[in-house]
Chain A
Amino acid sequence: MNNTSGRLEARFCGVGGQGIVLGSTILAEAAIFYEGKYASQSPTYGSQVRGGPTKVDLIVDTQEILYPKATHLNFFLAIAQSSFKKYFCDIADDCTILIDENLVIDLPEDILVGTHRKLYKIPVMEMAKQEFNNNILANMICLGVTQEVTQVVSTENLLKSIQKSVPAKHYDKNVAAVQMGIELARSRKQQELVV
Chain B
Amino acid sequence: MPGQIYALTGNQIVARAAIDVGCRFYAGYPISPSSEIAAEMAKALPKVGGAFIQMEDEIASMAAIIGASLTGKKSMTATSGPGFSLKQENLGFACMTEVPCVVVNVMRNGPSTGMPTFPGQGDLMQAKWGTHGDHPIIVLAPAYHREIYDETIRAFNLSEKYRQPVVLLSDETLAQMSGRLEIPDKSELIVINRETPKVGPKEYKPFDQSQGLVPPLASFFEGYRFHVTGLTHDDTGFPTENTTIAEQLLSRMRRKLTENLDDILKWEDYLVDDADILIVSLGSASRSALQAINEARESDGIKVGMFRPITLWPFPEEALKKAARNAKRIIVVEMNEGQMALEVERILHRTIETVLRYNGQMISPDEILNRIKSYESCEAAKV
Q: Chain A interface (Cβ within 8 Å of chain B)? A: 25, 28-29, 32-33, 37-46, 64-69, 71
Q: Which residue of B lies closest to A29 (CB)?
A: B7
CB-CB contacts below 8 Å: B253-303 with A:
287-288, 290-291
Cα–Cα distance between A67 and B172 once the two chains are bound (Å): 14
Q: Which residue of A lies closest to B176 (CB)?
A: A45
B178 with A25: CB separation less than 8 A: yes
Query: Within the complex, what minimum Cβ distance (angstroms) separates B115 from chain A?
Result: 9
Q: Which residue of A lies closest to B368 (CB)?
A: A67
Residues in A with CB closer than 8 Å to B33 are 45
With A66-B290, A67-B287 in contact, is A41–B364 under 8 Å at CB? no
Residues in A with CB closer than 8 Å to B7 are 25, 28-29, 32-33, 39
Other than the given A45-B32, A69-B362, 14 more pairs (CB < 8 A) read A28-B179, A32-B7, A40-B177, A42-B176, A42-B177, A45-B117, A46-B116, A66-B291, A66-B365, A67-B287, A67-B365, A68-B173, A68-B177, A68-B287
Contact of B325 with A by CB under 8 A: no
Q: Chain B interface (Cβ within 8 Å of chain A)? A: 5, 7, 32-33, 116-117, 144, 172-173, 176-180, 287-288, 290-291, 362, 364-366
A38 with B177: CB separation less than 8 A: no
B180 with A39: CB separation less than 8 A: yes
Cα–Cα distance between A37 and B178 once the two chains are bound (Å): 14
A-B contact pairs, 6 of them (CB 8 A): A40-B177, A40-B178, A40-B179, A41-B179, A66-B290, A67-B291
Pairs A-B, 7 closest by C-beta atoms:
A46-B117, A40-B179, A66-B291, A66-B287, A32-B180, A45-B117, A42-B177
A67 with B362: CB separation less than 8 A: yes
With A32-B5, A71-B364 in contact, is A43–B176 under 8 Å at CB? yes
A65 with B364: CB separation less than 8 A: no
Cα–Cα distance between A42 and B176 once the two chains are bound (Å): 7
Query: Within the complex, what minimum Cβ distance (angstroms) separates B138 from chain A?
Result: 27
Q: Which residue of B lies closest to A31 (CB)?
A: B180
Cα–Cα distance between A38 and B180 once the two chains are bound (Å): 6
Residues in B with CB closer than 8 Å to A42 are 173, 176-177
Residues in A with CB closer than 8 Å to B117 are 44-46
Query: Within the complex, what minimum Cβ distance (angstroms) separates B10 from chain A?
Result: 11
Residue of A37, A38, A65 contacting most chain B CB atoms (<10 Å) = A65
Residues in A with CB closer than 8 Å to B180 are 32, 37-40
Residues in B with CB closer than 8 Å to A45 are 32-33, 117, 172, 176
Cα–Cα distance between A45 and B180 once the two chains are bound (Å): 20
